[in-house]
Amino acid sequence: MTSKLFCFLTFSYLVLFSLFVSLSFADSNSTSPVSSVTVCKSTPDPTYCRSVLPNQTTANVYYYSRYSVRKALSQSRKFLMLVDKYLRRNSTLTTSAIRALEDCRLLAGLNMDFLLSSFQTVNSTGRILSSQRAEDIQTFLSAILTNEQTCSDGLQATASAWSIKKGLAVPLANDTKLYSVSLALFTKGWVPRKKKSTAWQPKRKQVGFKNGRLPLKMSSRTRAIYESASRRKLLQSTDNDDEVMVSDIVTVSQDGTGNFTTINDAIAAAPNNSVPADGYFLIYVTEGVYEEYVSIAKNKKHLMMIGDGINQTIITGNRSVVDGWTTFNSATFAVVAPGFVAVNITFRNTAGAIKHQAVALRNGADLSTFYSCSFEAYQDTLYTHSLRQFYRECDIYGTVDFIFGNAAVVFQNCNLYPRLPMSGQFNAITAQGRTDPNQNTGISIQNCRIRAADELASSNGTTQTYLGRPWKEYSRTVYVQTFMDRLINPAGWMAWNGEFALSTLYYAEYNNTGPRSNTTNRVTWSGYHVMNATEVANFTVANFLLGDDWLPQTGVPYAGGLII
């Protein structure tokens, strides 16, 4: 970042703060004078909050929010510069230390983007923010905390990086506390007490690809249809009122008959920083096994990637923590660019159970969608890292914590297949990583099916399988209208370590079916709940993801509410 840009941002932050003052969005008392001692009571760490906020007798929540966000912006830039300083010493660093630092640099850069996006959103209007825009900013501030935690986790797991850990530990800890204060004050002053609610309708119209699903094979005739209508209209729903728009279509084929022979080359050809109105850059990946590590950078927005079907188009790799990668960068396929859509593709990591954490797909892409895809690995298969995500009619295979992360994510009509782990291991389907009570994150599993994978079904049956365990203190996971086969332990859920998080987590079930859906013998933790119809509405696509605002443009079918 140049000094000129930094000066511009500094000025912009002041403009942003003045806009914050004008709002009285959620709390009728937000404009009333209040001391920092009082306002800090609404944050997770009141002592730290009081140490960073000025004590003003005439200040209100918006003033303190402005102050904390301004300080957070400054600190995020300083941390990025500190990481770059360590990376310049790469000749003295081990490979694992460099990889951990590179993760931190990527994540710190995203944090700067999220803070700037928040500024630009508020700066674009002099009126009260809509609930959707308030949700955007809360999502970004939640992701900033997730990114800090991921950086810290990667460094802690790198044995050779002790000197780096020592130098970054204090900035990481203090910045995390500051971001938590910013999120808490924003939530108190700007987020509605009642989140936007769309009354679920059992027979709501479902939008989707023509005939409900995309054909598994893309014939030359179908491709010609795609490229007609000025190469803009992809497919219409059966009701002829919803369409998926594309700006261009390229084909990846290993036999040389397409535009590219590798997926990465096709991604490189995509335009930078496109907007939804431009339509998707569609990459059609023909049948084949693609041994590539794919990373879709933040500037490759609004890509749609379509394969020939599960187990037909396969993207595969074998990186693992045992082989020196961080969990974060062990992924075969990683995406952080917003608006990503994938259809009819298998994502695979073949490292095996013996290599422990080995990610098939890592998703940190906001408003991203996966439809009719498969994710195959063992421990840590699908890393739903951050922001807002939706998965429909997907297959997920794994063993320990095989769906994990800290996104706001809904799985709908998916198949969850616990596999046979190593001897002495157990299966945990989820390990949700919410670290702060104000993060709008969690895992919602709706109308899915949990059955043993073939290798587990044919084993001697001693493996214990659980619905989830709390990776972080405020872990949040719900199962709704889901079939649970007899492989699930009757207790349902497993502790992470002793009493850790058992009173701060939120684990819940609603109207599930199958041999192990009975909640009579479930855990008795204070954080475990059997939900009622009012509570479960908070975890539907329409309410948890505000999906009605962005899923229709993907063409992927979905139910906004409960499925009847």
Contact 332, 348 (CB under 8 A): yes
Please give the Cα distance from 148 to 392 (Å, whole number).
29
- Given the residues 278, 401, 454, 485, the one annotated as active site: 401
* Residues recorded for the chain: 564
User: Strands across the sheet with 368-371, in order?
Assistant: 233-236, 243-252, 280-285, 303-307, 341-343, 368-371, 388-392, 408-412, 442-446, 476-480, 506-510, 528-530
| Cα–Cα distance for residue pair 173/564, rounded to 1 Å | 46
The number of beta carbons lying within 10 Å of the beta carbon of residue 345 is 29
Alpha helices, DSSP H, located in 215-330? 220-226, 228-232, 263-269
317: β partners: 349
Tokens of 213: 């699903």
CA 440 vs. chain centroid, Å, equals: 11
Question: Residue 431's closest CA among 389, 381, 397, 481?
Answer: 381
CA distance 193 to 186: 12
Which CB contacts under 8 angstroms, 24+ apart, belong to 86-93?
A: 86/164, 86/167, 86/168, 93/161, 93/164
Tokens of 38: 């009082």
Locate 506 and state its tokens.
């939120």
Residue 193 C-beta-side C-alpha neighbours within 13 Å = 6
Mark whether 549 is an active-site residue.
Answer: no
Q: How many helices (H) and strands (E) does the chain have?
A: 13, 27
- Sheet holding 427-432: strands in order across? 294-296, 333-335, 361-363, 382-384, 400-405, 427-432, 465-466
Q: Which residues are catalytic?
A: 401
